[in-house]
Amino acid sequence: MNALLKLSRCIDACTECIGRIAVWFVLVIVLFSSLNAVLRYLFNYSSNAFLEAQWYLFGLIFLSCSGYTLLRNEHVRIDLILHKLPKRGQIWVDILGILFFLMPMAIAIMTLSWPVFVNAFLSDEMSNSPGGLIVWPARLMIPVGFFLLILQAISELIKRIGFLKGLCPDPTQRDEEASAEDELIKTIRLRQNDETAAGDEK
């Protein structure tokens, strides 16, 4: 189990690195989209290649960060029962969800999308839009993105089993940093308490 936990830490480190790199692509796509808008509205110039490059970048961010989002435990959860269960019950629900829902879905999409990429790569498939981009990089994002999600799912599964065995901390516990608004509210409340205490002393 210790070897598996070490593997999990390696996967987490890789996922964290990919996530931090992908964050910079958000800045790139914002700048690229702004440039595209300026060219279109000020210089009346538009390009299908520019438009497709935008959604290529968006797809890259979305797919490369799916594992990062799972690592951060930030995927949307809609449930009525989970939070009423004890912690071990919640962990078991996560384990079953990973094994019977997340993994089969991700493996199926990765497997089915790979031949689509190979076909696009071998045929040099181009966009149907005039002046558009070559298609295979976009096709490649799908199997790669789901492969990264599968790797992180394996890591999450290992950590949850490790937690049940008492070998690692709770993997669902998030170290949340207080937002600027929370810090402001805390400061205001402390100041009000100080003023109230000073008034009572008088």
Residue 79: helix, strand or coil by DSSP?
A: coil
Q: How many CA atoms lie within 13 A of 148 on its CB side?
A: 25
Task: Give the position of tokens 């402390």.
Answer: 190
Tell me what pLDDT residue 182 has. Answer: 58
Backbone angles phi, psi at 41, to 5 degrees: -90, -25
Tell me what pLDDT residue 83 has. Answer: 75
CA–CA separation, 110 and 63 (whole Å):
12
Tell me what pLDDT residue 198 has. Answer: 66
- What is the secondary structure of 141-201 as a DSSP string? HHHHHHHHHHHHHHHHHHHHHHHHTTSS--TT---PPPPHHHHHHHHHHHHHHHHHHHHHH
CB 57 within 8 A of CB 27: no
| Bridge partners (DSSP) listed for residue 126 | 134
Per-residue pLDDT of the chain (202 residues; tens, 9 = 90+): 788 888 989 999 999 999 888 888 888 888 888 888 888 888 887 778 888 888 888 888 989 899 999 998 887 776 777 778 888 888 898 899 999 999 999 999 999 999 999 999 999 888 887 877 888 998 999 999 999 999 999 999 999 998 888 888 888 776 555 555 556 676 777 777 777 766 666 5
| Bridge partners (DSSP) listed for residue 134 | 126
User: Between the CA of residue 172 and those of 74, 93, 190, what are the distances in Å?
Assistant: 10, 12, 31
